[in-house]
Chain A
């Protein structure tokens, strides 16, 4: 049975409340306090949500790969679930990045999708890659082999991020030159502060969701073991 330490469970609701407050603060800052962007107007405000979500997705994928590496290295079973949950969160945040990116593209360029935004294309590739990760997991039988295969695939994912980024940059050369860029004027101090608060809030949110899902999955596994023991 996995050891669910009660102290860590007790801290979770408090952490969830702090996260809710931080998210509220970030929204107020992003929607009301931060100054309007001179170029893009109100649509620029989605930046404070979109970019932190994207960074958090990268962070989750990285965390999943780190746990995968630990699993292969140390062979401890718990890393499998941790890696899976981190990648699950990363995929959710990746999907949100695609959605918010599409909304932003519609607001500022008039189209829902554009191949000239490298970050969006990269997220599409990564989203497809990590969806395949789940297909792999659900197709293999539960056990150490599944854990290790998933871990190897997760490690391929972090290698794929820079390689794909480079590939997408190179592909501009023959597909089309970049027409749109998001390199606007430098952020002002209060814009930057809003961005940092949003980033912290979204990271906290991802962490809380990670903990909640992990706890749920572990409870599930424990319950199954107890049932089997009783039968």
Chain B
């Protein structure tokens, strides 16, 4: 079980860095709550209830982007990635560790954002929450890989949203559908399919992205 042990060690490393430095999570929290307040002024009263769910998803995607943009910064700043790639562990474990740590940040941010959404706007059902969780998995799986790709580029902060947003469109469809549709299970199944396809793709291709 060395693979799992590697993943756990890498995830714990990221969580510990965050716990000590507090670089990412407070920014995500502040961003998502501010975004919700902006949405209050952005939606006219006549827009109806469903519009709020759509904007919740805009907030989630952009909050995730904020976290993802920071995901590989510690590795980049101190040349840790080279060390990790040279370490005798499967390279995909690096991706999985990062994806899990990012997922932890995103879920933590949503633990504040979703109650705030319910307080400010509309209630969220079980299907909507399941949709959020399933979409989170997809966001972190794809985002961790794309963020590693973008981190090697010249304009990484600019590049990541461009790479990520077209891939996030199906997730938004699934998430919004799970919240507003009467046949929510179709959308949850779709999100599950997305997660499976792109998690496997990211897991298999991460090695090619980080090796020289």
Q: Please give, as numbers and ranges, the residues of chain B lying within 8 Å of A132 by CB-CB distance.
A: 162-163, 166
A196 at the interface (CB under 8 A from B): no
CA distance A35 to B97 in the complex (A): 61
State whether B163 touches A136 (Cβ < 8 A).
yes
Complex: A106 Cα to B208 Cα, angstroms: 45
Mark interface residues in A133-148 (1 if CB within 8 Å of B CB, else 0).
0011001100111001
Query: Which residues of chain A are near B2, meaning CB under 8 Å?
Result: none
| Chain A nearest CB, measured from B94 CB (Å) | 15
Query: Which of A2-10, A153-161, A197-205 is the interface stretch?
Result: A153-161
Of A44-52, A91-99, A169-177, which stretch is located at the interface? A169-177
Per DSSP, chain A at the interface is: helix
Q: Which of B142, B170, B208 is the one whose CB lies under 8 Å from A151? A: B208
Q: Within the complex, what minimum Cβ distance (angstroms) separates B198 from chain A?
A: 7
In the bound complex, do residue A145 and residue B205 qualify as a contact, i.e. CB atoms below 8 Å apart? no
Given contacts A139-B154, A167-B170, whether A155 and B205 have CB atoms under 8 Å apart is yes
Q: Determine whether B183 belongs to the interface, using a CB cutoff of 8 Å to chain A.
A: yes
Q: Which residues of A contact B193 (CB under 8 A)?
A: 163, 166
Taking residues whose C-beta sits less than 8 angstroms from the other chain, chain B's interface range is 35 or more
Known contacts A132-B162, A163-B197, A167-B174: does B153 contact A140 (CB below 8 Å)? yes
Closest to A72 in B: B208
Cβ-defined contact, B201 with A170, below 8 A: no
If A143-B212, A152-B209, A170-B173 are given as contacts, then 19 extra A-B residue pairs at C-beta distance below 8 Å, sorted by A number, are A132-B162, A132-B163, A135-B159, A136-B163, A145-B211, A152-B208, A153-B149, A156-B167, A156-B198, A156-B201, A163-B198, A167-B170, A170-B174, A170-B177, A171-B173, A173-B181, A174-B176, A174-B177, A174-B181
Mark A residues whose CB is within 8 Å of B: 72, 125-126, 128-129, 131-132, 135-136, 139-140, 143-145, 148-149, 151-153, 155-156, 159-160, 163-164, 166-168, 170-171, 173-174
The 10 closest A-B pairs by CB, nearest first: A139-B153, A167-B170, A129-B166, A148-B208, A167-B173, A132-B162, A152-B205, A171-B173, A128-B166, A149-B149
